Amino acid sequence: MNITSIIIAILTLTAGIGVFLEACTMMSSNLESASSKRLKSLFSKTGNNKWLGVGIGTIGTAAIQSSGAVTVMVLGFVNVGIMSLAQAATIIYGTNIGTTITAQLVALGMFGTNSISTTLIFASFAGVGAFITLFAKHESIKQAGGIFTGFGLLFVGLGMMASAMDEFAALDSVKLFLASISSPVLLVLIGAVLTAIIQSSSVMTSVAITMVVTGLINLTQGIYITMGSNIGSCVVAIIASITSGVNAKRTAVIHLTFNVMGVVLFMFCALLLWALSGGRVTYGGIFENFFPTAPQLQLAMFHTIFNVATMLVALPLTNFLVNFACKVIKEDGISTQKHNAEPHLYFLDEQMLRTPVVAIRQLKQEVLNMADLAIKNFRRSIHIVTTLDYSEINTFRNTEKELNFLNKEIVRYSVELLSNQLNKFDNQFLSSSILSVSDLERIGDYSENIIEYADSLKLQEAAFSEDAIQEILEMEKLVCNLYDEIIIAYSKIDITALERANLIEEHVDLLTTQMEQKHIERLSSGVCNPQVGAEYISLAQNSERIADHLINIGKTIKDLV
């Protein structure tokens, strides 16, 4: 083989890895969009059941073909405090099992005779998917086309890598060099470093499989490189946790500890087998006996068994891993107090942007949380204006500051999510969310106006009459009932709840008119002075506008039904 052939082989290998990586990304994004509702439902079931956590991690990773995306999403959940470290740990165990699906697909694609191989058959899916995407008009069919294309390109990349490996296998110098690398520790280190660089354990495992099939390395070498790829895969979580909170960093430590523990355990068992058998029994020999004449299946099956066995060992030790992570990453009390005191997002984290469909579910929770803050401030303002009790004024001011912060941050987050490939429903929801948070921010502003009326009363050393206070409290009750129906309508996309809200809003309009008329009567009888009456009328009108903004939020569900 001349220098030109070597350069061509290197370029082919590089191109194959690039196509494989891009295929994984394409499959992941389209599978994510196509399974968005199921994925949202899946992660909403996260509980304290350890086996359930493993199942969620496995299915979630298999569904979107990206353990990195699921792991980073888990970091986001932990960072905002809606998932415990123990729950996160069990999901991470599952992601390691879910990622073995890619290796099994690669092994399946490398079967076949010299006439037509399964690699070629599966690679043709890229063309089929491209035609579907080109001519399909329905969004779900286009997503299916994208999945087909990604699946096909996976094997196009695999074929290119295998072709390059065949060229390298023809070079005795390359084979002798690789054969000289026999140290298990060195092979694990090579697998870890290369995976950290590529940031994909699936690609590294697939490269190892092609190297074993083409004879560049033996099965035992491939096994240790694959074990190392598990450690290297932790780099995604480690990088993502650097800019996150304490618990996100602890989750990354759990991930790294879990994978290192599995590798150390299997290497110890390998050493024990070798010592007890006098060097006759190795992992390579065991899997060669179980799956003869199929080296691709031998390594793929080891990869699966390794991850399942590691999970079974780690599951009872979850609390130990959590405690260990807490000792390694200690709580920063000052930062935590500062975070809790300042306005912040409650359900969203920047890491969740890597898994848009789950981020959208969390964004909905963030909007509902903002709605809760807004209505509480409305009730505080009514309490203050009717009693002139200012004991909660600092809470009111802080909440108002938080509403302004959430308005800006949720809009920014929604715009970032809109830049992703999403289905029509999610796109529509995000667009409506931008309008909804604006309505909620306006509710906060009108509540601020009511506080100003209280300030005016206090300055005049005046107060509303008992009749006026009763009418204001009746208005408060109606607005809060309206809020309850709107929240049902918004959270469950319930049109009947919206219809009930519309009826309550009509009562609000009617009560506003009655309050204005009764105010005129009180002015005529001298019960109220003109200045106090002006504040009263403005309060009634502000309450009516709050009801209007709540109805606006409810109306957004019409486009989602």
Q: Please tell me the predicted confidence (pLDDT) of residue 384.
A: 95
351-373 in b/e form (b: 16+ CB < 10 A) is bbbbbbbbbbbbbbbbbbbbbeb
pLDDT tens, the chain, 561 aa long: 567 777 888 888 888 888 877 887 777 667 766 665 666 566 666 667 888 889 888 888 877 667 777 887 788 778 777 778 888 899 999 988 988 888 888 787 776 555 456 677 778 888 888 888 888 877 778 878 888 888 888 778 877 877 777 777 677 777 777 778 888 999 999 999 988 887 778 888 888 888 888 888 889 999 999 999 999 888 878 887 876 778 888 999 999 999 999 999 999 999 998 888 887 888 888 898 888 878 888 999 999 999 999 999 999 999 999 999 999 888 765 444 445 567 888 888 787 787 777 788 889 989 999 999 999 999 999 999 999 999 999 999 999 999 999 999 999 999 998 887 777 888 888 999 999 999 999 999 999 999 999 998 888 888 888 888 999 999 999 999 999 999 999 988 899 999 999 999 999 999 999 988 887 887 777 666 666 777 888 999 999 999 999 999 999 988 777
Which amino acid, one-letter code, is at 4?
A: T
Q: Please tell me the predicted confidence (pLDDT) of residue 335.
A: 47
Residue 264: CB atoms within 10 A of its CB come to 13
Q: Please tell me the predicted confidence (pLDDT) of residue 33.
A: 65
Find the helix or strand (DSSP H, E) in which 365 lies: helix 356-387
CA distance 206 to 102: 8
Q: Please tell me the predicted confidence (pLDDT) of residue 34.
A: 64
Instruction: Please give the span between the terminal C-alpha atoms of the chain, in angstroms, as a whole number.
Output: 64
Q: Please tell me the predicted confidence (pLDDT) of residue 334.
A: 46
Based on C-alpha coordinates, what's the Rg of the chain?
Answer: 31
- Are the beta carbons of 321 and 258 closer than 8 angstroms? yes
Q: Which two tokens stand for residue 467?
A: 């009749």
- Are the beta carbons of 306 and 226 closer than 8 angstroms? yes
CA distance 457 to 133: 66
Q: Tell how far CA 225 is from the center of its chain.
A: 29
CA distance 397 to 381: 11
Q: Tell how far CA 250 is from the center of its chain.
A: 18
Question: Could you tell me the domains of the chain?
Answer: 3-328 (no CATH), 350-559 (1.20.58.220)
Phi first, then psi: give them for residue 130, nearest 5 degrees.
Answer: -65, -40
Q: Which two tokens stand for residue 152?
A: 């096909």
Q: Please tell me the predicted confidence (pLDDT) of residue 166.
A: 74
Return the beta strands (E) in 332-468 as ranges.
none
- Model pTM? 0.71
- How deeply is 440 buried, as exposed, middle or buried, from its count of CB atoms within 10 A (0-12, 13-18, 19+)? buried
CA distance 227 to 307: 9
The string of DSSP codes covering 77-89 is HHHTTSS-HHHHH
- Are the beta carbons of 392 and 377 closer than 8 angstroms? no
Find the helix or strand (DSSP H, E) in which 76 lies: helix 67-79
CA distance 396 to 82: 25
